[in-house]
Structure 1
Amino acid sequence: MLKRLWPALIAGGWALSGMAAAAGTDGEATAAVRKAVASLGPDVHIDVIAPAPLAGFYQVIAAGHLLYVSSDGKYMMNGNLIDLTARRNVSEDAWATFRKAELAKLPAGQGILFAPEHPRYTVTVFTDVNCEYCRVFHAHIDEYNRRGIAVNYLAWPREGITTTAGRETPTYAEMVAVWCAADRKAAFTAATQGHPSKPAHCDNPVKAQYELGERLGVDGTPAVIGPDGRMLGGFLPPDALLQALKESGQGG
């Protein structure tokens, strides 16, 4: 995977040499970029290829990373692209658009929603029932709701899905049990308080949600995503999260 290749690519100053191709048209450039990114590994899934604001480069979202690749497929850059005139992080703009579109595809009811009667904002939180700050976040759930913030939890077991021996990780198994419970909200709350549900198996979205989080650039929990797809951070106390939502002009 690209994530495993990344340290070597950065440390070694690795370039996409040998991948150059004549890019006389947009279609040819896209093909060159796709070929170059695919060369990073057999399992690299490309989600987005689009012209970048940077002349001569394409913006690529692949395997949970945002890259800038030259139109001839020869060079790759990793990092945030800043518009100095507008003073905007255009890389985060691209991520936000992608995250919002992908989250909108989730079937209704797939997450675990804690919401007030008339929410002003809804945030998506990739969470792990055993992570310390996820537990702190959920301990304040009533306060978030009182401030008009609905929280839709998606599963992201930080241990991953399976161990190196191919067995389910303990946290993955716990989160499957939560999503299989008759009362998911009660089971989730209990799990964050150190009272996991009995092991259970059912048709559940935990693995799919974990993989979605990886594609959206999640690398830790809690990962709080605003209504417009922007990553707002990890644990934010209720007033701080409300202020961040107000300042970003999202919803409400």
Structure 2
Amino acid sequence: MLKNLVLALCLGGLSLSACAVQNEPAAAATAAVTPAVREMVQKAIRSLAPNINVDVIEPAPMPGFYQVIASGQMLYISADGKYMMHGDLIDLGRKQNASDDAWARFRKAELAKVPESERIVYAPANPKYTISVFTDVNCGFCRALHEHIADFNKEGIAVEYLAWPREGLVTTAGGPTPTYTEMVSVWCAKDRKAAFTAAKQGRPPAPTTCVNPVKDQFNLGVRLGVNGTPAIYGPDGRTLGGYVTPEQLLQALKQGG
């Protein structure tokens, strides 16, 4: 994985989070993203990890660099292709994470491609907000979050779940992980919502299989930077946290506009 490779090359990183929206244009000192730039960036990244998929390349907020999202990681590549930085870019003047906007745009666009029919949805009649939640049926915090589902709906929040088995898809022996198998059974159940809630309560469904989106949703989560569950994203693609109470979630959504 690119993450492990990059971390092995870097001494460390600074990680901060911020709620404020930053809409400043990218630094003009970095050239536009031409086909030649794309080739340079991909060559630079693949010199370290040949099989990495590059999702986004755009001018960085700082001069002389391009901002790149690749395999769930935020990278910064110098315009001459000689240097790479990994992690968040902090605007010290504003005390904000300057990487948040790029992540939000990417997540919003990618999540919009997932049909509602492939999600497990709990929604009030006329939702004020809709959130996307990557979840694992056996995760303690995910179970605690789901206990508040009626309260979320009462506050006008629609919750749309996507599958993200924390164990991954395949065991070291090569077979499917137990959680992946269970989540496939949930998504293949006649009544998904009933099977989902029962699994959250420790009552897994009868094993079954069908054409299902669990693998695709897990891989999507990896591309979006999910590294734990629950992972909650607002309608604008911004991260709203992991386990939160209905009051905390509503406040975060109001702050995001």
Q: TM-score, normalised by structure 1?
A: 0.90
**Aligned: 1:74 with 2:82:** yes
Q: Does 1:200 align with 2:208?
A: yes
Structure 1 residue identity aligned to 2:223: R
Match in the other structure for 1:89: 97
Partner of 1:178: 186
- Residue in 2 aligned with 1:3? 3
Letter in 1 for 2:129: Y
Task: Give the distance between the partners of 2:110 and 2:96, measured in 1 at CA.
Answer: 22
Q: Distance in 1 between matches of 2:240 and 2:80?
A: 35
Q: Which runs of 5+ in 2 are unaligned?
A: 14-30
Conserved 8 A contact 2:59-2:67: yes
Shift of 1:85: 4.8
What is the distance in 2 between the residues matched to 1:189 and 1:56?
A: 50
What SS is found at the alignment partner of 2:134? Answer: strand
**Cα distance between partner residues in 2 of 1:228 and 1:131:** 25
The worse-fitting range, judged by mean Cα deviation, of 29-38 and 118-127 is 29-38
Amino acid at match of 1:227: P
Counterpart AA for 1:42: P
Partner SS for 2:99:
helix
Q: Please state how far the C-alpha of 1:6 moved relative to its aligned partner.
A: 3.1
For 1:38-57, list aligned pairs within 5 A: 38-57=46-65
Asked if 1 retains the 8 angstrom alpha-carbon contact of 2:108 and 2:235, the reply is yes
Q: Hey, what does 1:234 align to over in structure 2? A: 242
How far does the alpha carbon of each residue in 1:200-232 deviate from its partner, in whole angstroms, 9 at most, with x for none? 110000000000000000000000000000011
Percent identical among aligned pairs is: 62
1:162 and 2:173 aligned: no
Aligned partner letter, 1:239: E
Structure 1 residues 52 and 208: alpha-carbon distance in aligned structure 2, compared to 1, 3 A threshold: same
Matched residue type, 2:8: A
2:67 maps to a residue whose letter is Q
- CA distance 1:24–1:117, change in 2 (3 Å): closer
Deviates more, 1:121-130 or 1:78-87: 78-87
The C-alpha deviation readout for 1:16-66, integer Å capped at 9, x for no partner, is: xxxxxxx99944333211100112212211101111121110010001001
2:136 corresponding residue in structure 1: 128
Whole-Å separation in 2 of the counterparts to 1:24 and 1:154: 35
Shift of 1:79: 2.5
Partner of 1:147: 155
In 2, the alpha carbon distance for the partners of 1:233 and 1:8 equals 27
Q: Structure 2: how far apart are the matches of 1:206 and 1:25?
A: 34
| TM-score (structure 2 length as normaliser) | 0.89
- The one of 109, 112, 129 equivalent to 2:120 is 112
Moved more, 171-180 or 28-37: 28-37
Give the Cα separation in 2 of the matches to 1:49 and 1:236. 32
Distance 1:210 1:222 in 2: 13
Code of the residue aligned with 1:81 in structure 2: it is L
Alpha-carbon contact 2:195-2:204 (below 8 Å) kept: yes
User: Across the two proteins, how many residue pairs are aligned to each other?
Assistant: 240
Between 41-50 and 128-137, the greater mean CA deviation after superposition: 41-50
* Superposition deviation, residue 166 in structure 1: 0.6
Residue matched to 2:18: none
The answer as to whether partners of 1:61 and 1:67 remain within 8 angstroms in 2 is yes
Q: Hey, what does 1:18 align to over in structure 2? A: none
User: Given the alignment of the two structures, is residue 220 of structure 1 paired with residue 254 of structure 2, yes or no?
Assistant: no
Give the secondary-structure state (helix, strand or coil) at the position aligned to 2:85. Answer: strand
Residue identity opposite 1:89 in structure 2: N
